[in-house]
Amino acid sequence: MSTLKFKTNAKCGGCVAAIGAKLNQLVKEDAWSIDLKSPDKTLTITTDLPAEAIVAAVGEAGFKATVLS
């Protein structure tokens, strides 16, 4: 398992809930979090899935995610 970080365009709890609905289909609910207080609205997720799968899931929820190095 690795921990990945993504910049998102989430703005509120409703955004997090929408993204979470997609992420919870891929990983356990306690395997991810979004820090709305950070400038990048950072999504941190612990998973074996490739980053592309996470970007796609966030995209399906109607939001953007970009891998942070």
Assess whether pLDDT exceeds 80 at residue 53.
yes
Q: Which residues pair with 3 in a beta bridge?
A: 46
CB-based contacts of 2, cutoff 8 Å, min separation 6: 46, 47, 48
Q: What is the pLDDT of residue 64?
A: 98
Could you report the per-residue pLDDT of 1-43, keeping only the tens digit for each?
899 999 999 999 999 999 999 999 999 999 999 999 999 999 9
Distance CA 38, CA 28 (A): 23
Kind plus residue range of the DSSP H or E element containing 21: helix 13-23
pLDDT exceeds 80 at position 69: no
